[in-house]
Amino acid sequence: MDALMLVGSFVLLIALRVPVAYSLGLATLIGAWWIEIPFHAVMIQIAGGVNKFSLLAIPFFVLAGAIMAEGGMARRLVAFAGVLVGFVRGGLSLVNITASTFFGAISGSSLADTASVGSVLIPEMEKKGYPRDFSTAVTVSGSVQALLTPPSHNSVIYSLAAGGTVSIAALFMAGIGPGLLLSAVMMGMCLLFARRRNYPKGDVIPLKQALKICVDALWGLMAMVIILGGIISGVFTATESAAIAVLWSFFVTMFIYRDYKWHQLPKLMHRTVRTLSIVMILIAFAASFGYIMTLMQIPSKITTLFLTLSDNRYVIMMYINGMLLILGTLMDMAPLILILTPILLPVVTSIGVDPVHFGMIMLVNLGIGLITPPVGAVLFVGAAVGKVTIEQTVKALLPFYVALFMVLMAVTYIPAISLWLPSVVL
């Protein structure tokens, strides 16, 4: 009955179209009242939920990504990707995936990836003879890898939701393997479509121009080297790397590229703060929600439930994958990570799944949800940027859903894809 009051009130508030963050907060108060917990104990949990040094990584990485997206870095990375793969048949679709890989490894955001890369490449692909719905589908599906590769904001949120017991650096390293696998599979799909549909070959860029493009893009690519190199070498933590990423992106945008005007910075800061305020409120209320769940022993009850369904870890992981895929289509990613991690982490650790590995499984599942209706935020952004309907985009995405599911199965049942690099580097 306790769990029904807490979860039921949350679901009811969501159904009444109350914002997710406030639904969490109100459901927490209802749950606390039901089990007779003083409200001031809930307030302490809300304050404590955001009073963590590691949380500083989120605003810094979001700000760095916003500066990079609007400061011309995405356009230069697209040009650099064109030098690498643009000359083969279907080259522009490969450029799209490659540019998403580079930009995702700098911004850590699928939304920023879709908006910035899509605004440059979707019109260009259409001009070269690619269908607009296919171009949008490539952009949207390729952006999922930004959730996996460092500096993924969602890896930071997962670490927080796990109670700080999972290293952010380990999660960053673990995301590289699945991210590269996803990009490789997407590129394979693009090559297959290019051959079947006879998409055009790209032009070979002259050596002198190619060298200029590479040098121009090098400043942006250095952000990846600084972030990853600093963490791997132990020079600074993931949080400190986020602050350095802001300084580097600001320096490159304002003093090297100089495409962005100084008077535009206040508006960019305002948009960033608005985004962050929503995220921080969500994290604060999710902390109190998790506290009430723990008092109600919901995680242990869920663990018992899953273990009664089967004692086979592969079957249990299939159940969990199915649940995550369904929930990922119904709710945004960050609240699901904050709500489900405290519930599911005891389940998977009890059957021998590494918490870092499970983090990658969760991110891939919920990443697929971001590009799937009815609540796929990245899908909506991609359709808006591509100027096509949601229905057209989803239809074009169907083959890519199959490829993403194959990646999910590989990440779920081959732990080395996620765990090999952290074991070697850290």
What are the respective helix, strand and coil percentages of the chain, to the nearest 5?
80, 0, 20
The mean pLDDT value for 41-65 works out to 82
- Better pLDDT: 325 or 228: 325
Q: Residue 354 has what pLDDT?
A: 95
Q: Where are the domains of the chain?
A: 2-425
CA-based end-to-end distance of the chain:
44
- Model pLDDT for residues 102-129, shown as the tens digit of each residue: 888 777 778 878 887 888 888 888 888 8
- Model pLDDT for residues 171-222, shown as the tens digit of each residue: 999 999 999 999 999 999 999 998 888 888 777 788 888 888 888 888 888 8
The mean pLDDT value for 150-178 works out to 89
Q: With contact defined as beta carbons under 8 Å apart, do 169 and 195 qualify?
A: no
Q: Residue 363 has what pLDDT?
A: 95
Q: Position of tokens 């305020």?
A: 277
From the centroid of its chain, how far is CA 77? 19
- Model pLDDT for residues 229-263, shown as the tens digit of each residue: 777 777 888 788 888 888 888 888 888 888 788 88
Q: Residue 237 has what pLDDT?
A: 80
Q: Is the pTM of this model over 0.85?
A: yes
Residue type, 417: I
Q: Residue 358 has what pLDDT?
A: 96
- Model pLDDT for residues 347-399, shown as the tens digit of each residue: 999 899 999 999 999 999 999 998 988 778 888 888 888 889 888 999 999 99
